[in-house]
Amino acid sequence: MEITNDTTPEGFILLGFSDNPRLEMALFVVVSIFYTVTLMGNITIILLSRIDSHLHTPMYLFLTQLSLLDLCFTTSCIPQMLINLWGPDKTISYLGCTAQLYIFLGLGAAECVLLLVMAFDRYVAVCRPLHYAVIMHPQLCQKLVALVWVSGVFGTLVHSPTTMKLPFCQHHRVDDFICEVPALIRLSCGDTLVNELQISVIGSIFLMVPLVLILVSYGHIAKAVLAIQSKEGRSKAFRTCSSHLGVVFLFYCTVTAVYIQPRSHFSEKGGKFLTLFYTVVTPTLNPLIYTLRNKDIKGALKRLFGRNRNDIKE
């Protein structure tokens, strides 16, 4: 066991794939493209939801929050990731690492709760369509949005401070692209039992409980859809829920795999690729999933560009 620092370290070294420079240069190009698409896709959804009155509904209010979370989530880690991929300097300051961890955990916890809120919205839309406007009134929607962000703050304040107080090994080499909990736990030269137990508890609250409730809500949705007589009605209900299910699948499959066993062999070897996936690929796919098969978004784009063409002609 290496000697640990008794004082706060000046910074950390994010190893990434430093043993394979060619792979890192290829990743730099790929990550840059994905990040650009992420920015464009999520900003487009946010602007359309604000500009087009047809999208002033609970569903698009929550979708806007998801886009905002994804924007903040990627911006908190991808710029630093690109710097480290570009050249030999892979350092990050202690303050930068701390800020990244706080933001990363907070937005991750908030997204777990937001996906549950979106599932509840879809449940009401499919199972209680006649009462949808009464149940999902603006005041409730605003409270649900506030709950999402408060949950994020709570999630990060519970776990981040204890992680940054760990007795880190003197080399300060984080075997990952970003400062996240499993990688920092592996860097510790002291007892991490409390931290790993804390991950299990926080994971149960913010990962497993929302996932179970989401699955229960979709169980009721499936029953309601099967009871619909018309083929067109079933198709509409399926379109309403399939995008959200796709986002839930992408998010939970990767995040739970990384956080379920922070010291496992799988986390050390495969965790880097999973980290890349849920920090780079998933936020890019989310807006694409919601726009490619979404008639409302396509209609808003047509109205926006049609209005712009008419303004130019005039």
Which among 15, 13, 7, 12 is positioned nearest to 167, based on CA atoms? 7
- Of residues 188 and 267, the one with the higher pLDDT is 188
pLDDT of 238 higher than 60: yes
What lies within 8 Å, CB to CB, of 166 at 6+ separation is: 184, 185, 187, 188, 190, 192, 195
Mean per-residue pLDDT, 119-126: 93
pLDDT above 80: residue 308: no
pLDDT band at 312 (very low <50, low <70, confident <90, very high): very low
Q: How many other CB atoms sit within 10 Å of the CB of residue 256?
A: 14
Q: pLDDT (tens digit, 9 = 90+) per residue, 71-107? A: 999 998 899 889 888 878 888 999 999 999 999 889 9
pLDDT at 261: 57
Flag the least confident range among 99-108, 129-138, 243-252, 286-295. 286-295
For residue 218 the two structure tokens come to 């979709």
* The pLDDT value given to residue 260: 65
C-alpha 312/C-alpha 266 separation (Å) is: 57
Closest CA to 62 of 140, 115, 26, 24: 115
Task: Please answer whether residues 159 and 182 qualify as being in contact, where contact means their C-beta atoms are separated by less than 8 angstroms.
Answer: no
The pLDDT value recorded for residue 188 is 87
pLDDT value, residue 176: 84
Print burial letters for 101-111: b (CB count within 10 Å at least 16), e (below 16): bbbbbbbbbbb
CB 168 within 8 A of CB 9: yes
State the pTM of this model: 0.87
26-69 pLDDT, tens digit per residue, is 989 999 999 999 999 999 899 988 888 888 899 999 999 999 99
In DSSP terms, 289 is beta-bridged to none
Nearest-angstrom CA–CA distance, 73 and 89: 23
Q: What is the pLDDT of residue 84?
A: 86
Give the residue, 144 or 203, on which the prediction is more confident. 144
Mean pLDDT, the chain, as a whole number? 84
SS3 93: strand
What's the confidence (pLDDT) of residue 142? 95
Domains of the chain, earliest start first:
11-313 (1.20.1070.10)
Give the pLDDT of residue 272. Answer: 76
The more confident residue out of 313 and 146 is 146
User: What pLDDT shows up at residue 75?
Assistant: 92
Angle between helices 58-75 and 138-164 (to 10 degrees): 20
Res. 3 pLDDT band, cuts 50 70 90: very low
Task: Decide if pLDDT at 269 tops 80.
Answer: no
Task: Report, as an integer, the average pLDDT of 119-135.
Answer: 92
User: pLDDT band for position 1 (50/70/90)?
Assistant: very low
Q: What is the DSSP string of 242-308?
A: HHHHHHHHHHHHHHHHHHS-TTSHHHHHHHHHHHHIIIIIHHHHHHHHHHHT-HHHHHHHHHHHHHH
The predicted structure's pLDDT at residue 293: 64
Cα(175)–Cα(193) distance, rounded to whole angstroms? 20
What the block records as the tokens of 131 is 């009462």
